[in-house]
Amino acid sequence: MASSSVSSMILFIAAMLVAASVAGTLVTSVGDVSGSIDARSADAAETIDTEVDVISDPGSDAVYDESSTTVTLLVKNTGNGRLPTDAAKPDVLVDGQYVGASDRTLTVLGGGSEWLSGDVVRLELNVDLDPGEHRIVVIINGDREVFEFYV
């Protein structure tokens, strides 16, 4: 009888160790999933709050300056959130070619230091364009705006 109670005690301790291991693994997994959901929610909220519109006139001579090879776009924050004023933050493609941060500047018009909802920025791109049709894509926080014009 004593050996059966020792065996039962050993099985009980083994079952408790297995249960504790499983519980520890589940707690860690639930914590990881929770953190991932929080991060995705923050990214989704930022994407939802972000919306921009290029308000430059595609027919205007002010868009492209041949002598300085500069494209100037006016971009308005029409979303609900504050956008970064760092020229490296928006991704910019001109005719499918990426324009690096060193070849662009971003200036908030009106003298503000933040790009708030309703504010307009001047985005200047140093690119040499041939005569003809051109397409610029501006991407900020997942919002994509396309601007087409002729030189």
Tokens (6 digits) for 82? 């504050």
Q: Do residues 60 and 134 make contact, with C-beta atoms less than 8 angstroms apart?
A: no
Using one digit for the tens of pLDDT, what is the confidence trace for 10-55? 888 888 888 788 777 777 777 666 666 655 655 554 555 678 889 8
Using one digit for the tens of pLDDT, what is the confidence trace for 74-110? 999 998 888 888 888 899 999 999 999 999 999 999 8
Q: What angle do CA 44, 46, 47 make, to 5 degrees?
A: 65
Instruction: Specify the pLDDT at position 40.
Output: 60
Instruction: Specify the pLDDT at position 49.
Output: 67
Q: Do residues 82 and 91 make contact, with C-beta atoms less than 8 angstroms apart?
A: no
pTM here is: 0.67
Q: For residue 94, how many C-alpha atoms fall within 13 Å in the half-sphere facing its CB?
A: 20
CA distance 75 to 63: 12
